[in-house]
């Protein structure tokens, strides 16, 4: 078995490699890839492995982004630390999971399961695609539906569905609601991006995360950038860089 490991924690990846090589003398580790970008590049430039063992949360995003950008039929065993719902999603869709820290006996069960379903999964592209889509659907439930904000001496919940955009200005981070209300919140824009559903929110630049529901229009701007107009007034222009324009249009055009 030629196995590709996708894991951003080097220590975990090396332990996983040792366990796989212990389980079977026929195991060959094709490579260890730590990022989404690296995974896409590797799969585009190399022959598909027999099996992929992949973490879910990588340093630069979810590993699902790799498989939505590169067409493969290779079965995948996902590593996860998510709750019961995500685990049930894996089991229901026939792709196994590993809970960290990785247990050798559990890993062997996963590999044995792979051997049993390999022929079916690798020959049925549609089935495989459905499984990835179902996993993505399950992952969406892991994002925040409510953020807690401070208002005077009170802590109040703000539904993410009520957020038009999040702005990082001189006074710090602030949530701007569709109703025009503004709430101060601690943390960073990077923290917010990780907590919000990427299907609903887009990181426009270093200062803005915007909601799909708040977008009224976009127009061409200087140097092949885009200027985004929202349903409520933003503190400054929301500009999408030339490099991110294609990603934004693809995201905005999703149903």
Would you say residue 113 has pLDDT above 90?
Answer: no
Q: Are residues 126 and 229 in the same domain?
A: no
What pLDDT is recorded for position 168? 95
Q: Are residues 89 and 154 in the same domain?
A: no
Band (pLDDT 50/70/90 cuts) for residue 209 is very high
| Mean pLDDT calculated for residue range 20-45 | 93
Q: Are residues 103 and 154 in the same domain?
A: no
Q: Are residues 9 and 117 in the same domain?
A: yes
What pLDDT is recorded for position 149? 87
What pLDDT is recorded for position 42? 96
Nearest in space to 39 (alpha carbons), one of 81, 1, 76, 5 = 5
Lowest mean pLDDT among 12-16, 67-71, 134-138, 189-193: 134-138
Write down which residue in 108, 140, 172 finishes a domain. 140
Higher pLDDT, 176 or 135: 176
Would you say residue 89 has pLDDT above 70?
Answer: no
* CATH number, residue 227: 2.40.50.1020
| Mean pLDDT calculated for residue range 183-192 | 88
Inter-residue contact 154 to 196 (CB < 8 Å): no
Q: Are residues 151 and 127 in the same domain?
A: no
Q: Are residues 102 and 12 in the same domain?
A: yes
What pLDDT is recorded for position 88? 47
Would you say residue 52 has pLDDT above 50?
Answer: yes
Query: Could you give the number of structural domains in the chain?
Result: 2
| Mean pLDDT calculated for residue range 204-224 | 94
Q: Are residues 128 and 48 in the same domain?
A: yes
Write down which residue in 97, 122, 140 finishes a domain. 140
Q: What is the domain extent for residue 200?
A: 146-252
Lowest mean pLDDT among 26-35, 69-78, 157-166: 69-78
The C-alpha atoms of residue 243 and residue 252 are separated, in whole angstroms, by: 15
Would you say residue 91 has pLDDT above 50?
Answer: no
| Mean pLDDT calculated for residue range 164-177 | 94
| Mean pLDDT calculated for residue range 34-61 | 90
Q: Are residues 195 and 220 in the same domain?
A: yes
Write down which residue in 140, 157, 185 finishes a domain. 140
Would you say residue 84 has pLDDT above 60?
Answer: no
Q: Are residues 56 and 90 in the same domain?
A: yes
| Mean pLDDT calculated for residue range 222-242 | 94
Higher pLDDT, 138 or 218: 218
Q: Are residues 84 and 193 in the same domain?
A: no
What pLDDT is recorded for position 82? 59
Q: Are residues 95 and 152 in the same domain?
A: no
Lowest mean pLDDT among 58-62, 113-117, 123-127, 197-201: 123-127
Q: Are residues 120 and 172 in the same domain?
A: no
What pLDDT is recorded for position 255? 54
Q: In this structure, what token pair is assigned to residue 10?
A: 């080097």
* CATH number, residue 59: 3.40.50.2300
Cα Rg for the chain, rounded, in angstroms?
A: 21
Band (pLDDT 50/70/90 cuts) for residue 181 is very high
């Amino acid at each position: 078995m030629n196995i590709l490991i996708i894991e951003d924690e080097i220590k975990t990846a090396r332990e996983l490699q040792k366990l796989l090589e212990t389980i079977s003398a026929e195991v060959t580790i094709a490579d260890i890839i730590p990022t989404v970008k690296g995974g896409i590049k590797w799969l585009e430039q190399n022959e598909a492995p027999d099996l992929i063992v992949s973490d879910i949360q990588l340093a630069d995003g979810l590993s699902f982004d790799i498989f939505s950008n590169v067409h493969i039929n290779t079965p995948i065993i996902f590593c996860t630390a998510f709750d019961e719902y995500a685990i049930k999603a894996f089991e229901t869709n026939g792709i196994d999971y590993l809970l960290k820290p990785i247990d050798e006996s559990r890993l062997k069960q996963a590999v044995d399961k792979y051997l049993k379903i390999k022929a079916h999964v690798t020959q049925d592209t549609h089935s495989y695609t459905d499984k990835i889509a179902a996993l993505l659907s399950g992952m969406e439930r892991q994002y925040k539906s409510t953020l807690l904000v401070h208002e005077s001496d009170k802590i109040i919940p703000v539904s993410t569905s009520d957020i038009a955009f999040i702005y990082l200005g001189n006074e710090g981070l602030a949530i701007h609601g569709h109703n025009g209300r503004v709430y101060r919140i601690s943390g960073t824009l990077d923290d917010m991006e990780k907590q919000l559903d990427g299907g609903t929110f887009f990181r426009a630049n270093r200062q803005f995360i915007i909601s799909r529901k708040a977008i009224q229009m976009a127009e061409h701007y200087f140097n092949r950038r885009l200027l985004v107009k929202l349903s409520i007034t933003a503190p400054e222009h929301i500009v999408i860089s030339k490099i991110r324009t294609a990603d934004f249009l693809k995201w905005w055009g999703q149903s």
